[in-house]
Structure 1
Amino acid sequence: MTVLDERVGPFPLGRINDRDTLGDPTHEGVGHAVTHAEHVDDFDMRHLRYFLTVVRAGTVSGAAQELRISQPSLSQQIKRLEQRIGAPLFIRSSRGVELTTGGRAFLREIQSIPGQLRSAIAAAAPSPLVWPVGVCGGVPAEVLAEVQNGLTGRPGDRAEGRAEPALRMRSVNAADQSELLQHGELAFGIVRLPGAVPGLVRAVVWDEPLGVVMDAGHPLARRPGPTWSDLSTQRLLWYDEGCAPGYADTVPAQLAALGWNAALHPIDQDQQALFVHALQTAGDVVALRPRLAVQGDPQLVWRPLPTRAAPRERLAVTALADGRSARHLRTAAGRRGWPLLT
């Protein structure tokens, strides 16, 4: 269940100064909020979720599949929302949907509501027992263990009888994580740097130089290290932009400056089996990984790049800058020595 499925009490979503209202329930700000709330009594929070999902998916059918409801049912719910607002929100075509002028205005005003509601619930509720975490493709197990230990290992919790939070990790493209953080679907994300997004706090948990990874039977595996001339004949098994925004462009540009204009061979980096299979079945394909990421895998061989200034892989844990998750992340970063980025 997401925050958009949850119903809350009569408190408004607007920002109200706690110092002015907690001791005085008749405060003018609360009165205005209650009056405004009367005009939206017949709105259902799930309609906002449906609207936002259609915007994200770009098609009603894609949104229906994501929401696990039928397409006709979703279309009917969107129509009801448009009737309640009194204006069309989408222009429908054979290619999908796009927002009308009114739809764009509606999106601009309501897209922060899920995050605000999540923050309001989090501020009033006890600490959650489960933190959902989005993980971009190709993250080493060592990084997941470090994040697990850093975010859940709070000294004193067991001694004081408090339950330690658990992490629920799932694969999520880095390009989608910011939106899911904003909507409250994720508490944290794990992404590659660079890729700065406003409104997020980032803690670097992994910073290692990249080297060449190849199948153990590859001709270059018999050498102590490839030259730029050797690498010029190889394609690079690489991420697409959606999987690693910023990083997917930055590293090839760095390689080109060093002398390797690599032809890119994109593949789903979330599945290790496909990654290894591609290296085994194509004789002119290599990859880039930190040494620790493939250490101990007998099918793969790691060799250093022919430079002392090799590109680096930097992974960071992210959270919304003004929420409870960010406070928790800052505490963990200080305890584990993770550098914080703003």
Structure 2
Amino acid sequence: MEFRHLKYFVTVAQLRHFTKAADQIGIAQPPLSQQIKKLEHELGVDLFKRLSRGVELTRAGEIFLTDAQNILADAQRAEARVRQVARGENTQVNIGFATSTSTCIPVLEKMAMIQSDGIHFNTAEMPMPELVSQLKNKQQDLAIMRVPCYASEPFERKNLLDDPFVAVIPANHVLAECHSLQLHQLKEQTLLLFPRETGPALYDALSALLSDAGIRIQPQFASPQLRTTIAMAQAGFGIAIVPYSLAEHLDNSAVIVSIEDMTLTSQIVVAWQASNLNPQALKVVAKLNAISKAERF
């Protein structure tokens, strides 16, 4: 398989048209079609459905497109890093943020301290499953994620922040006047939780704690993400149980109330592959670790 064939395939897949793709690549349309046919023959599958006006990806083509784009992106990053090293520049560090961590001010402040020290980040925000996948495939050097997380167990990691669970209560709710709560006070309340597939380990730990307190989870009140539970609480759907960092900038539509006997604490960590060879990424980990240690004294 030739590298240029991947570029040709991705261009055709994005434009859904051979002639437009040929114009963008800078070759004639017939040779482009021949190269795609050669790639399909080599793979033993049809990647496109030829239509009267353009093309559509087959199921095999859709799957191959993701892999081809990843390969090209990896190659571009490798090329950029080599050129930076040749120029004597610091290589950049790719850092992915799990959706539930990207607005955590204490963690962002730590990253800013490192950024000002001459290290530059390429950042992205994504759901946890995608972040774990990209970290495994070394598309991200580092991941800022929330644990407990079953999928994070193979990675090296350092704790950045302990993030206790709190109750986010609609401002007009009877419990909004409380300075703190006990779990038993939530037994008859509508609790808003994220679905298990969003964070299986975190969900299992929280649901076990609530079950031990005699609180039954009502799945019809699940929300797509941790953040969404807060918006639902603000709208009056019920009480959200979330890590404090997600709720610390609420408006007056809801209040944050601590739960005295809540023993579960989420942690925000930086995670990386032990086999990561980017020295700048390991330098970031060392600096974050030093900052966290200094904060404890």
Q: Which category of TM-score, normalised to the shorter sequence, fits these structures?
A: 0.5 to 0.7
Instruction: Answer yes or no: is 1:127 the counterpart of 2:90.
Output: yes
Q: Secondary structure at the match of 1:303?
A: strand
SS in 1 for 2:181: coil
CA distance in 1: counterparts of 2:124 and 2:77, whole angstroms = 20
Q: Which amino acid aligns with 1:216?
A: A
Superposed displacement of residue 177, structure 1: 0.7
Deviation at 1:257, TM superposition (A): 2.5
Note the residue ranges of structure 2 that are not aligned, 5 or more in a row.
22-31, 50-56
Give secondary structure in 1 for the equivalent of 2:267: strand
Aligned-partner Cα distance in 1 for 2:249–2:77: 42
Q: Deviations over 1:33-77 (max 9, x none)?
A: xxxxxx746543575x79xxxxxxxxxxxxx6xxxx244569x99
TM-score by length of 2: 0.66
Structure-2 separation of matches of 1:168 and 1:111: 16
Matched, 1:215 2:177: no
Percent of pairs identical after alignment? 13
Alpha-carbon distance between aligned partners in 1 of 2:136 and 2:214, rounded to the nearest angstrom: 40
Q: 1:247 aligns with which of 191, 199, 202?
A: 202
Q: What residue in structure 2 maps to residue 193 of structure 1? A: 147
Q: Runs of 5+ in structure 1 lacking a partner?
A: 1-38, 51-63, 155-163
Give 1:94-243 correspondences, 5 Å limit.
118=77, 122=81, 125=84, 126-129=89-92, 131-137=94-100, 139-149=102-112, 151-154=114-117, 164-183=118-137, 185-195=139-149, 196-197=151-152, 200-243=155-198
Q: Residues 136 and 173 of structure 1 are in contact (CA less than 8 Å); yes or no, is this contact kept in structure 2?
A: yes
Distance 1:310 1:72, change over 3 A: farther
**Cα gap change, 1:178/1:291 in structure 2, threshold over 3 Å: closer, same or farther?**
closer
Q: From the superposition, tell whether residues 117 and 171 of structure 1 become closer, same or farther in structure 2 (CA, over 3 Å).
A: closer
Q: Give the residue type in structure 2 aligned to 1:266.
A: A
CA distance in 1, matches of 2:71, 2:197: 23
Q: Is the 8 A contact 1:205 1:314 kept in 2?
A: yes
Alpha carbons of structure 1 residues 276 and 311: separation in structure 2 relative to 1, 3 Å: closer
Q: 2:231 & 2:83 partners in 1: Cα distance?
A: 49
2:223 matched to 1:267? yes
Q: Which has the higher helix share?
A: 2
Q: Give the residue type in structure 1 aligned to 2:99.
A: C
Q: Secondary structure at the match of 2:180?
A: coil
**1:244 counterpart letter in structure 2:** G
Matching residue of 1:332:
287
Counterpart residue type for residue 265 of structure 2: R
C-alpha distance in structure 2 between counterparts of 1:240 and 1:79, whole Å? 42
The one-character-per-residue Cα deviations of 1:127-165 (angstroms, maximum 9, x if unpaired) are: 2356453332365432442342354243xxxxxxxxx23
Distance 2:8 2:283 in 1: 29
Q: Residue in 1 aligned with 2:24?
A: none
Q: How large is the Cα RMSD of the aligned pairs? A: 4.3
Confirm whether residue 311 of structure 1 aligns to residue 270 of structure 2.
no
Query: 1:185, CA displacement in angstroms?
Result: 4.2
Deviation at 1:317, TM superposition (A): 2.0
* Distance across 1 between alignment mates of 2:154 and 2:17: 36
Cross-structure match for 1:44: 6
Q: Across the two proteins, how many residue pairs are aligned to each other?
A: 263
Shift of 1:168: 4.6
Aligned pair partner of 1:301 in 235, 255, 264:
255
Question: How far 1:176 moved relative to its partner?
Answer: 0.2
Distance in 2 between residues matched to 1:208 and 1:286, nearest whole Å: 18
C-alpha distance after superposition, 1:253-302 (max 9, x if no partner): 2322333222242334476xx5554113335x111234454346352322
Deviation at 1:173, TM superposition (A): 0.2
Distance in 2 (alpha carbons) for counterparts of 1:81 and 1:327: 42
Write the distance in 2 (CA, Å) between the matches of 1:332 and 1:149: 11
Tell me, yes or no, if the aligned pair for 2:101 and 2:144 is still in contact at 8 Å.
no
Give a deviation string over 1:73-100, Cα, whole Å, max 9, x none.
Answer: 69x99964752524127799xxx97669
Change (3 A) 1:176 1:219: same
